[in-house]
Structure 1
Amino acid sequence: MTLHPTIAEVLRNAPAPPGGPLDPVAMRAGEEADVPPVDRRTPVHAVADEIARTAAGEVPVRIYTPDEADAHGLLVYFHGGAFFLGSLETHDHVARSLANETGLKVISVGYRRAPEDAYPAGLQDCYAVVRWAADRGAALAWDGATLAIAGDSSGGNFVAAVAAMACDEGFDRITHQILYYPSLDLDFDVDRYASLRDNAEGYGLETAGLKPFNAFYLDSGADPADPLVSPIKRADLAGLPPALVITAEHDPMRDEGELYGRRLAEAGVAATVSRYQGAGHGFVQNFSWIPEFHRVYAETRDFLRSR
C-alpha cells in the first residue's frame, strides 16, 4: 500500500530541514512552538502537573484522569523524540487521547534527555516513575489491577527496557507493555533489517537520519550492544508482560519492532503485532487525527481490556 495521501501531501509541503549539525535547543523550540494552547486541546476530565519524588530524583509528570470514577487503572507513558526531543507538551495530545480512549489514568513522564543528561538518566527516570506510581497507589486512586506502560519511538525503547529492568528486579506489578513503532536496535547497519532499505527515503523519517538523530544518546554513553539500550538484543524475553507492538508500513524501524514481537511470542509472552498500512514513523504523534490511524487508541484499549 502506498503512503496515506494526507501524509504524502504534508510531506510534499514540509520545508526542507536546515543544513548543518543538529541543534537540540532550536529543534525543541520549534516543536514547542507548534503545540496548541490548552483551550484548543482535547478535553480531559482532569489534568494536573506534579513532581514525582523518586529513587532517581524529582521527575516532572503530568497526570490525566479520564472521569470521576473512584479508582482507575494506571498507564505510565514515555514520549518519543530520539532521546533528545519531545516533552510533556509535545505529546500532551497523545496522553489525552490515551486517557479518554482507555479509561485509565495516564501518567506522562518528563524524563531527562540527552545530551544534557547522560545515559541512563532518562531510562532511570522512567523506571523510577513506574515504581513511584505503584508505591503511591492510594494517593493516585489506583485500582490495584492495571499498571501498563506505553511509549512511542524512543519511548517504546524505554518501555521495553523498563519491562526488562522490572523483570530482572522481581518487580511484577507491570501488567501490559505497549510499544508504538519502537526503536529497539540502535545498531543502524542498513543490512540488519529490510525495512531500513525499503523505507529509506521519502516517508518522513529516513534511514540516513537515524544515526545523527540518535547520536546525542549514544555519545552520552549508551552502548548499542547493551540490551537496555537496544532491547531487541536481550537474550531471554521470558517473563515479560503481555505486549502490543504497533508498527507502520513505511517506517525504517518497522522490521525490528515486528521481530521483537515475534521473539516475545516465541519466549511465551502474549504478544500482538499490528502493522498500520499506509502509515509512516510517528503517525500516532503526528497523524492520529486521521480516522484510519486514530483507531490505534481503540486497539490499545481493547488490548488492555483483553489481557
Structure 2
Amino acid sequence: MSREPDPQAQAVLDLLDSIPRPPTYALSVPSARDALESFFANEDPEPVGDVADFSIPGPDEDVPVRLYLPEGEGPHPALVYLHGGGWVIGSLDTVDDVCRGLVNRVGCAVLSVDYRLAPEHPFPAALDDAYAAVEWTAAHGDTVGVDPGRIAVGGDSAGGNLTAGATLMARDRGGPEIARQVLVYPAVASPVVHDFDSYEENGEGYFLERESVAWFYERYVARAADQRNEYAAPLLARDLSGLPPATVVTAGFDPLRDEGREYANRLAEAEVPVTDYHYEGMIHGFVSLPDYLDAADEALDDVAADLEEAFYSG
C-alpha cells in the first residue's frame, strides 16, 4: 500500500521544491536562521488583546519574551510557549501565528520564550531558559495579568523537547505545578540510543530532512556526555510518572513521528493522562502553516480544547 501526503501538504512540498535553496544541513547557521524567518514570517497577524515584548531574568542572562494577552479582564491562565527550530534556529516571530491562534481559541495568555540558541549556547542553555520562564510565570505572572495558579507549557519540535524537559525538571525539583504539557511533533530521542522507522521512511523530501535532524542535534548536544541525559532526550527518562497531563501531536510524514508516538505511549504507561492527535497525511511543521493547511487549524483546535479543559474545568 503506497503512502502519500495529504494533497494540501503535497502542494506545500511542491512549493518548497520550486524554490532553489539548499537543505538546512548544507547551510551556515546564519543562513539557516534567515531561511526559517522568511518562510514562517507572519505578514498578516491575527489581532489579540495586547502584545508586549520584554525580558525576564535568566540563569545566566536576561531572556527575551513576548506576552500575548486575550481580550477581557485578567488574570488569565497562561501557556509558556517554546518555539521550534532544532535549538539552533527559530525565534519569537516564527511562532507568532501559533501563539496568536491559541490566545484567541483558548482565551489564555501566551508567554513566548526567545531562549538561547546553539551552537553559541549548547545544552542545557535553552532548557535552563525555558525552565526559568516557567518559574518566572509562577512567581511573577500576577504582575502582567497572568494567573500563576494556571500554567501550561508547550512547544513544537525542539520546543516540544524543551517542554518535556521542563516538565521533568519541575517534577524533579519540586517546581511550579503545571496544568498541562503540549508536545507538538516533539524531538525527544537521543540518536546514540534510539532509531526509528520514521527516520528512514520520512528522512528525505518531507520538509524536515533526517540529515538536518542530525545537524541540529550535533550543534545542540555538543558534549558526548550529554547524549544520554534525560533532560536532553526525555525518551531516555526511566520514570515518567507524576508528570502533567499531556497533549501530543504527531504527523505521518515526519522523521520525528515515531519518537513522539513512543513518548505518548510511555506517558500513558506511566499513568499520565494523554491525548494523542496523529495527522497521518501531514508533514513536520504543519501546525505553523494555517494559510496552506486545513489540518493546522484542526490541530490548533485540538490543542485549544485540551488547554481549555486544563484551565477551566474543576
If the length of structure 2 is used for normalisation, what is the TM-score? 0.90
CA-based RMSD: 2.1
Q: CA deviation at 1:210?
A: 1.7
- Partner residue, 2:47: 43
- Partner residue, 1:86: 90
- Partner residue, 1:22: 27
State the identity as a percent. Answer: 37
- Which residue of 220, 224, 227 maps to 1:224? 227
- Which residue of 121, 127, 144 maps to 1:117? 121
Counterpart code for 2:181? Q
1:221-279: CA deviation from partner (whole Å, max 9, x where unpaired): 77221101110000000100000010001111111111111111111111111101210
Q: What SS does structure 2 have at the residue aligned with 1:18?
A: coil
Counterpart code for 2:79? L
Q: CA deviation at 1:202?
A: 2.3
Measure the CA separation in 1 of the matches of 2:42 and 2:260: 34
Structure 1, gaps ≥5 residues long: none
Structure 2, gaps ≥5 residues long: none
- Partner residue, 2:282: 279
Contact 1:72/1:141 (8 A) holds in 2? yes
Q: CA deviation at 1:74?
A: 0.7
Does 2:168 correspond to 1:157?
Answer: no
Contact 2:85/2:157 (8 A) holds in 1? yes
Which sits farther off after the overlay, 218-227 or 198-207? 218-227
Measure the CA separation in 2 of the matches of 1:222 and 1:21: 26
Q: CA deviation at 1:104?
A: 0.9
Measure the CA separation in 1 of the matches of 2:86 and 2:45: 24
Q: CA deviation at 1:69?
A: 2.0
Measure the CA separation in 2 of the matches of 1:112 and 1:56: 10
- Partner residue, 1:200: 203
Q: CA deviation at 1:174?
A: 1.0
- Partner residue, 1:292: 295
Counterpart code for 1:276? Y
Q: CA deviation at 1:114?
A: 0.3
- Which residue of 177, 180, 183 maps to 2:181? 177
Contact 2:64/2:115 (8 A) holds in 1? yes
Does 2:266 correspond to 1:263?
Answer: yes
Does 2:190 correspond to 1:186?
Answer: yes
1:68-106: CA deviation from partner (whole Å, max 9, x where unpaired): 222210100000000100001111111111111111100
Does 2:144 correspond to 1:140?
Answer: yes
Which sits farther off after the overlay, 61-70 or 4-13? 4-13
Measure the CA separation in 2 of the matches of 1:289 and 1:42: 16
